[in-house]
Amino acid sequence: MLYIDCPYCGKRAHEEFTYIGDATKKRPDGAEKNDPAWVDYVYTRDNPRGPHLELWHHGLGCREVVKVLRNILTHEILGAGRPADEIPLPETETKP
């Protein structure tokens, strides 16, 4: 069982949450219709082999959106906070 430390409810099982998407994407501000920034915002996604910031919806709890730092490789939940919180990425080993 994976547990997410919801900033509102405390430690809850991940079954209470629904994955929303990538939390690192910032909506372009005032960009043109065909601006490449929109293509990047809507379609381009990284698939890192390690920690990744994600948004999850706590639908069976407080119904708030939670930002989660999850290791995509190991599924380990490394941290959680409110969407506006800055969650620092952990230092990762650099591979040659």
Partner 1 sequence: MADTVILARRSALAGVLQPGDHGANRFDGPGIHLTERTPFSVVQVEARAEAIPSLIGALESDTSTAPSLTPNQSAGIGQPRILGTGTGKWLVVEPETRDLAGHLRSVLPDSVAVTDLSHARTILRLSGRDARTLLAKGCSIDMHPSEFLIDTSRMTGLFHAAALIDCRSAEPVFDIYVHRSYAVHLFESLLDGALEHGCRVS
Cβ partners under 8 Å of residue 37, min gap 6: 28, 31
Cβ(87)–Cβ(53) below 8 Å? yes
Tokens 């900033």 belong to 7
Residue placing its CB nearer to partner 1 in the complex, 60 or 73: 60
Which token pair is 73? 């490789």
CB of 70 to partner 1, least distance (A): 18
CB of 2 to partner 1, least distance (A): 10
Closer by beta carbon to partner 1, 12 or else 70: 12
- Compute the least distance from the CB of residue 13 to partner 1, in Å: 4
Residue ranges in contact with partner 1 by CB under 8 A: 1, 8-10, 12-13, 15-16, 59-64
Reduce the DSSP state of residue 46 to 3 states and report it: coil
